[in-house]
Structure 1
Amino acid sequence: MWRITRTMMKRDARMMMPAGLAIVIGTLFMCLTLLFGNVANASMRREISMDAGQANYAVTARRDQDKPILFDEFDSRGLSKLQGVRGLRPDVNLMVDTEANGRSSKGILAIMGARQELMPIDLDRGQWPDSDDQVVLPRSVADRLQASLGDKVRLHLSPLMLPESDSAQDSSNKERLVDQGSVNLTISGISKSRGGQYDDFGGAVVLTGSRIGRLLTKVGMVGPESPPLENIYLLVNGQGKELQNTLHDISRYVPDG
């Protein structure tokens, strides 16, 4: 039921905008460990945790608050410097269109994490993007575009993120996403799905966080218009008092955390 609900909600990016975020105190899998037996538990944990990669903690959407963390307000550098935080990967819900060789394909953005263990997909060949002019495409998208490692592709934010409307203003907004929000990138890697969780949306298109920030700035999605974070996945070390101190420090980055 969790997987079905999440999939249905992801079909409309605006439905996924959180009303707020709250730190999950405890591992991502603790509740499942208490509720299910070993065999069923292991299977279900894999199923619902694919988005998290190997993260053991998460800051996740909480819908009873009205203070979301916006993408351009998120201090990823400060959070990553906290003692006990080995790495993090923020998650936004943005659709993109990718074009090459007269073909186009849709996908959903994934931000490159500070550590590859945090990625929700596996690298099939090539390398993860380490600069703003690189992109990792799903194998299915690369095949559809007839593109391979080292090729150039054109990427822009998808007008599908905007509500359907015939008004001149909304038509102008859609044109802005396509024209001003376009960027040419080099394919540095090809990924493969870990469990099909992104297949309904064209696959996960991986960019650096700074490239996504620049892309949003180009189309004016800054300040109040900036997309809210859906989740922040974390690799956290420590135990006992040390761990509690780290979690307390993390909560300072969360509204009403």
Structure 2
Amino acid sequence: MWSITLKLMRKTKRMLIPAGIAIMIGTAFIASTFLFGNAMNDSLTRQLTAMFGNANYAVSINSSDLSDKELNEAYSSTVGDFHLDQIAGIEGVDGIRASVETGVSVSKGDSTVSGEIISTAAQKNMLPVNITEGDQPKDSNEVALPEDMAKQLNVGVGDTVSLTSRYAVGDDGKAKADNVRVVGLTSDPNGAYSYYGGAIVGSNNLLAAMQGVDDFNATGTTMVYLDLALDGNSVSAKTINGVKALLPKHFDLMSRQQISDESIKSLSGNQTNIVTTFLMCFGVLAMFVAALVIANTFQVLVAQRRRTLALLRTIGAKKGQLYGSVLFEAVVLGFVASVLGVVLGSLLMWGMCVSDIMQEGMRFNFSWQAAVVPILFGIVVTVLASMGSARSATAVTPLEALRPIELTDNHRSSLTRAIIGILMVVVGIAMAIFSIWQVQATNGGEDASGDQFTMILLIAIAGAALVFLGMVVTAVF
């Protein structure tokens, strides 16, 4: 019976094309929604963990159930409270960096540029920025400047600059350090300090001076980054316990993944959820419309095959076999079209990520959900939409093999399909026009922020897809 069903599908493949296209577009929307969410979450994760550098763990405040007094106590912690030298000596600790930063002004002659100075580390890969030329500060009165800042000040590796704290740090007012040697240049590929135009990496004595204290251990910090050696796929319990034993009160050791997951969870109202929900709604709507096309297609197919079905009944086919035959045809159609939809959605998102259309630095990130969920959804919708036609197939009697072919009247369903298709085309055109107007209003997109441009682009894509899907729905095959 299954081989007969496949032969019937090949014979009427032209009639299955519109239903297949509708399924493909719906599943492409759903797959691209998952992939878009993956790309956005990956980008957000990299931004949230850009401060880690090569670290895979961090010591931070465990703020759960802390009173205001305890929080104030935790936020008053200094570098010395973390016993960095002792932690660095623990077996399995490959790198450590206390995060200390403050605002400074860098001067050379008559030129002055504001920036953010951050603490250095013994290991270059522990820094949240890259050293593109020279080296990181190791001795006193040394800095590595952002490349753009160095160009503005017209200085290079080996030159000297002056640093002044942007804030009063004591009775003497703003701290100042002269004859500070530039030992390197930095870049900020992950945007950890994009707000400041990059980060200045400074030696420990400069961080202490800019905060108005005599020793680096007296500078304030609430975050320490650690590079812990992996024992297989995890860090050994001995290393974890050794580090935790030296931590100050109210602080805890967390992995990079834990911190990024909690940070993303705390941003549950961010635009990533809004956009993915927006796209998912269109995917579900597309599948709903696809269900109408599928139901109409199978109604016509069953009506045209009544004599064939009746002949099958005369040679012994049971009602259950006819019912299963229609559902099997729906499963095959849903699977093939859904796989093509996943491929289409994946290619679309891959192209957008590679070309940096959506957002610079966004990476294509495939996951099993982006393949399995759309395919299962496409198959289930196809099967559900064909069940009515499958029941009609069971009503065929052997005597109908002697009757002339009579197609069921599908005028009402065709009219409904035409109305829905026209509405989709109208809405799609309106969305496309709106996106064009937004691009013009933002000076060709140049004045739009990254999130605004992403939203405009998604509206344009959704509008174009709606127009195309509407044309498929109203098409007569």
* TM-score past 0.5 threshold: yes
Structure 1: state its 5+ residue gaps. Answer: 1-35, 163-171
Q: CA deviation at 1:196?
A: 2.7
Greater strand proportion: 1
Q: How does 1:1-257 map to 2 (within 5 A)?
A: 39-63=39-63, 64=66, 65=70, 66-67=73-74, 68-159=76-167, 173=171, 175-178=172-175, 181-213=176-208, 215=209, 219-220=212-213, 226-239=218-231, 243-256=236-249, 257=251
Q: Could you say which structure has the larger radius of gyration?
A: 2
The code of the aligned residue for 2:245 comes to R
The code of the aligned residue for 1:192 comes to S
Q: CA deviation at 1:98?
A: 1.0
**Helix, strand or coil: the match of 2:179?**
strand
The code of the aligned residue for 1:229 comes to T
| Stretch of structure 1 that moved more, 107-116 or 58-67 | 58-67
Q: CA deviation at 1:73?
A: 4.0
Given that 2:95 and 2:228 are in contact with CA atoms closer than 8 Å, whether structure 1 keeps it comes out as yes
**Helix, strand or coil: the match of 1:69?**
coil
The code of the aligned residue for 1:52 comes to F
How far does the alpha carbon of each residue in 1:132-155 deviate from its partner, in whole angstroms, 9 at most, with x for none? 132100112112212111111011
Distance 1:216 1:155, change over 3 A: closer
The code of the aligned residue for 1:239 comes to D
Partners of 1:210 and 1:84 in 2: how far apart?
28
Given that 1:91 and 1:231 are in contact with CA atoms closer than 8 Å, whether structure 2 keeps it comes out as yes
**Helix, strand or coil: the match of 2:192?**
coil
Higher relative contact order (CA 8 A, sep 6+): 1
**Helix, strand or coil: the match of 2:131?**
strand
Partners of 1:223 and 1:139 in 2: how far apart?
26
The code of the aligned residue for 1:77 comes to D
| Stretch of structure 1 that moved more, 199-208 or 142-151 | 199-208
Partners of 1:71 and 1:95 in 2: how far apart?
18
The code of the aligned residue for 1:57 comes to Y
Greater helix proportion: 2
The code of the aligned residue for 2:57 comes to Y
Structure 2: state its 5+ residue gaps. Answer: 1-35, 252-477
Given that 2:50 and 2:191 are in contact with CA atoms closer than 8 Å, whether structure 1 keeps it comes out as no
Q: CA deviation at 1:90?
A: 0.7
Given that 1:106 and 1:202 are in contact with CA atoms closer than 8 Å, whether structure 2 keeps it comes out as no
Distance 1:131 1:239, change over 3 A: same
Given that 1:151 and 1:186 are in contact with CA atoms closer than 8 Å, whether structure 2 keeps it comes out as yes
Q: CA deviation at 1:222?
A: 6.8
The code of the aligned residue for 2:45 comes to R
